Amino acid sequence: MRSGVVTIAGRPNVGKSSLLNALVGRKVSIVSHKPQTTRHRIQGVLHRGEDQIVFVDTPGLHRLQKRALNRAMNEAAAGALRDVDLVLFVVEAGRWTDEDQAVLERLAGNAVPVGLVVNKIDRLKNRELLLPELQRLSAMREYAFVVPVSATRQENLAPLIDEILRHLPEGPPLYPPGQVVAHDDAFTVAEIVREKLIHHLHEELPYALTVEVEHYEREGNLDRISAVIWVEREGQKKIVIGENGQTLKKVGTAARRELELIFGRKIFLKLWCKVRENWSDDPKALRRFGLIGHD
Ligand SMILES: Nc1nc2c(ncn2[C@@H]2O[C@H](COP(=O)(O)OP(=O)(O)OP(=O)(O)O)[C@@H](O)[C@H]2O)c(=O)[nH]1
Ligand SMILES: [Mg+2]
């Protein structure tokens, strides 16, 4: 019987959250095409027979630290590199950047074994280039293993899981059978709403917003939820709401539909948009929104 904690780390947008979801077979962590989507450590549990892997998805490690939010995200990610059984360093096939290099350097001082996961292999036009790339990447440091995968096409995940289990200690499971998610329903709601906002809004706006669940009541098979979308300026509020409330309505509908599927209950979701100036650079606001001090 094996069990352990495995951190999924890497620069923004390489597909860490997609990989977590593919590995545990359920959407545990939100995904978007924009970098810096994940802001917290998010656990997802894979049960395989008696073995258990607790994955920890992390915010993408990035270099620009203009705001307190960015520093908090980097700290959340860096803190998950220690005191775990294994780190998965996720990179993108065919694309090595300065930020990947910075993650590699950060991992050099870390005592935990590292497995390299080369994601998005489905994007490679010429698969013959994969082998030389794997060789090049393997030479950069000592890896516990190197496994190419496609998270979105669920390619080569079984060999990755085998490799991970081989590096976990013998031990009793950390979570009861069947439990996949560690966070509560309010967190799921806030994240799904934020994901829909990212999908519906353009450019920089997703970086300026956060979602806070204010009320959560369960009445039989119905969840009554109200949540605030916090933005930094009046102009942003106008965009989030949209003409005649169109944008907010679309976001609310998309979030409600997905939440009903996830929870298997009816959802009544009320969304508000409010301004809190400069919240992303204000430690007090970040604490209130659970973006720092959540350990
Ligand atoms: N083609 C392809 N796209 C992928 C794959 N895995 C992830 N993506 C896409 O890459 C983008 C980023 O995915 P995420 O899972 O949000 O990436 P992340 O590393 O968690 O990003 P941050 O949370 O911002 O650090 C999304 O558009 C995904 O659909 C893959 O295997 N193949
Ligand atoms: Mg992510």
Nearest CA to ligand 1 atom 32: 120
Q: How confident is the model at residue 53 (pLDDT cuts 50, 70, 90)?
A: very high
Q: What is the mean pLDDT of residues 163-190?
A: 96
The helix/strand count (H/E) of the chain reads as: 9, 9
d(CA 160, CA 117): 8
Q: Which atom of ligand 1 is nearest to the CA of 34?
A: 24
* Structural domains in the chain, sorted by start: 3-166 (3.40.50.300), 185-288 (3.30.300.20)
**Beta bridge partner(s), residue 5:** 54
> Read out DSSP for 215-247?
EEEEETTEEEEEEEEEESSHHHHHHHH-GGGHH
What's the whole-number mean pLDDT along residues 166-175? Answer: 95
Quick one: average pLDDT of 50-55?
96
Beta strands in the chain (DSSP E): 3-9, 42-48, 51-57, 86-92, 114-119, 145-148, 210-219, 222-231, 266-275
Average pLDDT, the chain: 96
Q: Is the CB of 37 under 6 A from ligand 1?
A: yes
* Cross-strand pairs, 224: 217, 268
Q: Using the mean position of ligand 2's atoms as its centre, give its distance from the Cα of residue 135 in Å.
A: 26
Check: CB of residue 39 under 8 Å from CB of residue 59: yes
Rounded to an integer, the average pLDDT of 156-184 is 96
Ligand 1 pocket test, pick from 21, 31, 62 with the greatest ligand atom count within 8 Å of Cβ, gives 31
Q: What is the dihedral of CA 101, 105, 111, 113, to 10 degrees?
A: 20
Structure confidence by residue, pLDDT tens digits, 9-50? 999 999 999 999 999 999 999 999 999 999 999 999 999 999
pLDDT for 202 = 86
Q: What is the pLDDT of residues 226-273, one digit of tens each?
A: 999 999 999 999 999 999 999 999 999 999 999 999 999 999 999 999
Other beta carbons less than 10 A from residue 140's beta carbon? 14
Q: Which parts of 85-189 are beta strand (E)?
A: 86-92, 114-119, 145-148
Residues 6 or more apart from 243 whose CB is under 8 A from it? none
Rounded CA separation 54/166 (Å):
14
Q: How far apart are CA 149 and CA 158, in angstroms?
A: 10
- Is 121 labelled as part of a ligand binding site? yes
* Residue 203 confidence (pLDDT) above 90: no
What is the reported pLDDT for 295?
52
Give the per-residue pLDDT at 294.
54
Q: What is the mean pLDDT of residues 87-114?
A: 96
- Percent of the chain residues past pLDDT 90, beyond the cut: 94
For position 259, what pLDDT does the model report?
98
pLDDT at res. 22: 98
Distances (CA, A) of 10 to 47, 79, 90, 115, 141: 24, 13, 5, 12, 15
Does the CB atom of residue 74 touch ligand 1 within 6 A? Answer: no
Residues 6 or more apart whose Cβ sits within 8 Å of residue 212: 190, 227, 228, 230, 288, 289
pLDDT in the model for residue 127: 87
> Mean pLDDT, to the nearest integer, of 205-211?
93
Q: CA geometry: angle at 194 spanning 91 and 96, to 5°?
A: 15
Q: What is the pLDDT of residue 109?
A: 85
The pLDDT value recorded for residue 222 is: 97
